[in-house]
Amino acid sequence: MGSPFEDAEGYVNAEGAFHSFANSPTLATICLILSVVIALWFLYRSFTLH
Q: Are 36 and 45 in contact (CB under 8 A)?
A: no
Domain enclosing residue 29, as ranges: 23-50
| Distance from C-alpha of 40 to C-alpha of 37, rounded to nearest angstrom | 5
What's the pLDDT tens digit per position in 22-39? 677 888 889 999 999 999
| Statement: residue 16 has pLDDT above 80 | no
- Residue 33 in domain: yes
User: Per the domain annotation, does 4 fall within a domain?
Assistant: no
Number of compact structural domains in the chain = 1
Question: Is 10 part of a structural domain of the chain?
Answer: no
Residue 46 lies in a domain: yes
Closest listed residue to residue 16, CA positions, set 7, 6, 4:
4
Is 6 part of a structural domain of the chain?
no
Residue 20: predicted pLDDT:
66
